[in-house]
Amino acid sequence: MSAEDWSERFLTHYIAGAWRTPLSEVMCPTRHAGASVVLAGRADLERARQAAMAAAQEWRARGVAARQTALDSLGVAEAGAETGGPVLLSCSGRTAPDTRALGLLTAGDPVIVLGQTADPEPAFRFLAACHAARLPAGVVALLYAQDHAEVAATTGLPLFCA
């Protein structure tokens, strides 16, 4: 799928297992000609946080081996240390989240991926793989933000960089 085919998805957020209409209307251009993303506002962030909190108990109850099996197609090698709650994952640059960062999922932490506005593709590719792996609703979310540290301060969630 090319970035052209993704342009409509850049205008939505992935929350609770589905593409959702953003509650924010603030747009930000990407490096792709004519393509923009919708920046997550406070209400979008809270919606993603609530979905992640709702999914956390079921996801952790599966145990490491079952979570690893669910994540095998993503190339996650081993669990990281569980943080006890949802986490933010900054997907920066031209790469998707690395296996160390993805270990958070294996450990049992739901992940809210914050994609880069200039280049939304790495985060989108990761999210598409998570969706294809049929992870439970709320275990992974995707929103776009310009200042990931500010999002962490606003939500009170720990920020990990990929």
As a whole-number percent, the residues of the chain with pLDDT over 70 amount to: 86
**∠ CA 137-87-49 to the nearest 5 degrees?**
55
Mean pLDDT of 145-157: 91
The whole-model pTM stands at 0.87
In which residue are the tokens 């200042």 written?
Answer: 147
Rounded CA-CA distance 91/95 in Å is: 7
What contacts 86, CB < 8 A, 6 or more positions away? 49, 52, 53, 56, 109, 110, 111, 112, 157
Per DSSP, the three-state class of 155 is: helix
pLDDT tens readout for residues 5-57: 666 777 789 999 999 999 998 999 888 777 888 999 999 999 999 999 999 98
Contact 105, 75 (CB under 8 A): no
Rounded CA-CA distance 126/82 in Å is: 21
pLDDT of 95:
54
